[in-house]
A and B are shown apart, each in its own frame.
Chain A
Amino acid sequence: MKHLLSAADLTLDEVNGILDLAEEMHQVQTRPVKKLPALRGRTVVNMFFEDSTRTRSSFEIAGKWLSADTINVSGKGSSTSKGESLRDTMLTLDAMGVDAFVIRHSSSGAVAQAAGWVKAHVVNAGDGQHEHPTQALLDAYAMRRHFREHDAEGWAGKRIAIVGDLLHSRVVRSNVLLHRTLGSEVVLVAPPTLLPTGVETWGCEVTSDFDAVLGECDIVMMLRVQRERMAGGFFPTPREYADGYGLTLERLERLKDDAAICHPGPMNRGVEISSEAADAANSLVLEQVAAGVAVRMSVLYHLLGGSDEGGQA
């Protein structure tokens, strides 16, 4: 694998390979020496043009536990056409001979563009409202562990509701693409103002009636509502949003017994998710965070663990 830019890039075998290895990597977190030598001598640059403590530290730990040299670069100030061009920024660091870039950018497509300019491997750590493939992988990892504890059947027939600001969410796009490969069913739930154009072509059930689908889902994934959306006229008030689309205590009680709750974080408690739901026994929120390191170790190993074909020597 040269790059991981989109969840759609991965075949079913590749997804399973990444998730299986993540299980092994997960064990490393419990060892006295949390270190594997696989990426010794490799340099991974975390380029975060947009702040994200959670994702950046998760990638940084993943790299360090695989013995890669990790460097964090914050690429602020490139949000206008007046600043240094993205291409120049990327070429400058690429010329230093790094092995991989982990890139977060506020613009959709920026990571794919960067991959076209550099010799190093590129991992998309979230581009605008486009994709966040490692988030979808770690979500799937947490879900898979949850399912295995409850029944041995695979993804077929599993029903996953993704609820919230679908319009601006890169998490939903990567999840939809990944679950298309895995073969599970996705139900998309949002107020009509927060549905992306063309969402009806995504191959998912789409509804604005959360209560109608709530009781039949195996996973309910709640998406964060950005505060600035409230001023954008997408919905009147947080209270009204919570009433229609929040995982309230009442809705929590109506979930199936073995259903689980996901949230990619950070959570707005009281808006899209109640505290009761966030802290419920069937909440996978902290498992998702723990899975983040293991899944990202697995992704980095898949990209950098072998010889480079067409990459840097």
Chain B
Amino acid sequence: MPADSTDPARVIIDSDELGRALARMAHQLLEANHGAENLLLLGIPTRGVPLARRLAGLIAEIEDRTVPVGSLDITMYRDDLRRNPTRVVGRTDVPGSVDDAVVVLVDDVLYSGRTIAAAFDAVRDLGRPRAVRLAVLVDRGHRELPIAADAVGRRIQTAADERVRVRLAETDGVDEVTISRGAL
């Protein structure tokens, strides 16, 4: 696609808004789970991991108890591995066991749902959780699989050729979500 078809990125969630969205997600999770009992937050690298940590921090403030946080890399479970050059694999670091826990998968953007489907396979290889929930900062629609999030920071309408980009202080030095049109 020609470069001139690319719009400048537009900020749709700023730093303050992002903080409020996370707080909403924390409350949604606690409500659905009737408290923090048995919760195990697993962030999907890269940006799901700091989001999971922040959610854990918020939950700790609200409930006055710590919840375990880890990371779950799904690279090797992707259904498009063979379509791309060899991908770098991220960390999988699960505190304790997933058995009988309520695993909350945390990711930045929910789009086709394929990442989450891969995450289900990855969790299943780790054990048998009591339940698996999904928390995403942005749900941009266009699902290709029957998957819905239990906690959502913000739902936005997008076109397929638009790009939603989440930046976080931990990984990118700034908290914001932008949308742009056109090529990468």
Max chain B CB contacts within 10 Å: which of A27, A35, A38, A309? A38
Are A306 and B86 within 8 A (Cβ)? yes
Are A306 and B125 within 8 A (Cβ)? no
Interface string of A151-170 (1 = CB under 8 A from B): 00000000000000000000
Q: Is B73 close to A, CB under 8 A?
A: yes
Q: Is B84 close to A, CB under 8 A?
A: yes
Q: How many A-B residue pairs have CB under 8 A?
A: 48
A301 CA to B75 CA, complexed, in Å: 11
Give the segment of B26-34, B49-57, B88-96, B157-165 that binds chain A: B88-96
Determine the residue in chain A with the shortest Cβ distance to B127: A32
Interface string of B124-149 (1 = CB under 8 A from A): 11110000000000000000000000
Chain A residues within an 8 Å CB radius of B121: 37
Q: Is B173 close to A, CB under 8 A?
A: no
- The residue from B75, B76, B83, B91 contacting A307, defined by CB atoms under 8 A apart: B83
Q: Is A21 close to B, CB under 8 A?
A: yes
Chain B contact residue count (CB 8 A cutoff) = 20
Chain B residues within an 8 Å CB radius of A33: 124-126
- Can you give 29 A-B contacts (C-beta < 8 A)? A17-B88, A24-B73, A24-B89, A24-B92, A27-B92, A32-B125, A32-B126, A33-B126, A35-B125, A36-B76, A37-B77, A38-B76, A38-B77, A66-B76, A301-B86, A301-B89, A303-B86, A305-B76, A305-B81, A305-B86, A305-B87, A306-B81, A306-B84, A306-B85, A306-B87, A307-B82, A307-B83, A307-B84, A309-B85
Are B85 and A307 within 8 A (Cβ)? yes
Interface string of A22-41 (1 = CB under 8 A from B): 00100100011101111000
Chain B residues within an 8 Å CB radius of A21: 89
Determine the residue in chain B with the shortest Cβ distance to A40: B81
Q: Which chain A residues have a beta carbon within 8 Å of chain B's beta carbons?
A: 1, 17, 21, 24, 27, 31-33, 35-38, 66, 301-303, 305-307, 309
Q: How many whole Å from B151's CB to the nearest CB in chain A? A: 28
Chain B residues within an 8 Å CB radius of A38: 75-77, 81
A301 CA to B86 CA, complexed, in Å: 8
A66 CA to B89 CA, complexed, in Å: 13
- The residue from B83, B86, B92 contacting A302, defined by CB atoms under 8 A apart: B86
Closest 7 pairs (CB-CB, A-B): A306-B86, A38-B76, A33-B125, A305-B86, A36-B76, A306-B85, A21-B89
Chain B residues within an 8 Å CB radius of A32: 125-127
Besides A33-B124, A301-B86, A306-B85, 6 more A-B contacts (Cβ < 8 Å) are A36-B76, A36-B125, A38-B75, A302-B86, A307-B83, A309-B85
Chain B residues within an 8 Å CB radius of A24: 73, 89, 91-92
A101 CA to B91 CA, complexed, in Å: 28
Chain B residues within an 8 Å CB radius of A307: 82-85
Chain A residues within an 8 Å CB radius of B75: 38
Q: How many whole Å from B91's CB to the nearest CB in chain A? A: 7
Q: How many whole Å from A105's CB to the nearest CB in chain B? A: 26
Determine the residue in chain B with the shortest Cβ distance to A21: B89
